[in-house]
Amino acid sequence: MNIILGAVITISLGAFALTVFRDIGISMIFNLDAFLIVLGGTTLALFVGFPFVRVRNTVNDIINAYSGRRDRDSVIKDILDISRTYMKTNIRNLESKIKGIDDDFLRLGAKLLINNYGGRDIKNIMEREMAIRLVDRNFSQNLLKTVARLTPSFGLAGTVISLIKMFKHMESVDTIAPMMAVALMSTFYGVIISNLI
Query: Bigger pLDDT: 18 or 49?
Result: 49
State percent of the chain over pLDDT 90. Answer: 4
pLDDT of amino acid 3: 67
When the pLDDT of each residue in the chain is averaged and rounded to a whole number, the result is 80
| pLDDT over 60 (residue 1) | no
Q: What is the pLDDT of residues 64-120, one digit of tens each?
A: 777 766 677 777 888 888 778 777 776 677 777 777 777 788 888 888 888 888 888
CA angle 45, 51, 52 (to 5 degrees): 90
Q: How far apart are CA 71 and CA 163, in angstroms?
A: 52
SS3 content of the chain, % helix, strand, coil (to 5): 85, 0, 15
Ranked by mean pLDDT, which of 29-33, 38-42, 109-113 comes out on top?
Answer: 38-42
Is the pTM here over 0.75, yes or no? no
pLDDT of amino acid 80: 82
pLDDT of amino acid 131: 92
Q: What is the pLDDT of residues 165-194, one digit of tens each?
A: 888 777 777 777 777 777 888 888 888 888
User: Hey, what's the torsion of the CAs at 165, 170, 176, 181, to 10 degrees?
Assistant: 50
Q: How far apart are CA 181 and CA 34, in angstroms?
A: 8
CB 151 within 8 A of CB 190: yes
pLDDT of amino acid 81: 81
C-alpha distances in angstroms, 99 versus 50, 74, 173, 178? Answer: 35, 16, 68, 58
pLDDT of amino acid 128: 92
Q: What is the pLDDT of residues 122-154, one digit of tens each?
A: 889 989 999 998 998 899 899 989 988 889 888
pLDDT of amino acid 69: 63
CA angle 127, 130, 136 (to 5 degrees): 145
Quote the DSSP letter at residue 31. -
98-109: buried (b, 16+ CB within 10 Å) or exposed (e) per residue? Answer: beebeeeebbbb
pLDDT of amino acid 165: 80
Query: Bigger pLDDT: 182 or 40?
Result: 40
| pLDDT over 80 (residue 197) | no
CB 151 within 8 A of CB 42: yes
pLDDT of amino acid 25: 59
Q: How far apart are CA 35 and CA 10, in angstroms?
A: 24
Domain limits of the chain?
A: 1-30, 31-196
Q: Which of 74, 57, 64 is nearest to 132 (CA)?
A: 57
Q: In degrees rounded to 5, what are phi and psi of residue 96?
A: -70, -30
Q: Which of 129, 92, 99, 130 is nearest to 114 (CA)?
A: 92
CB 162 within 8 A of CB 127: no
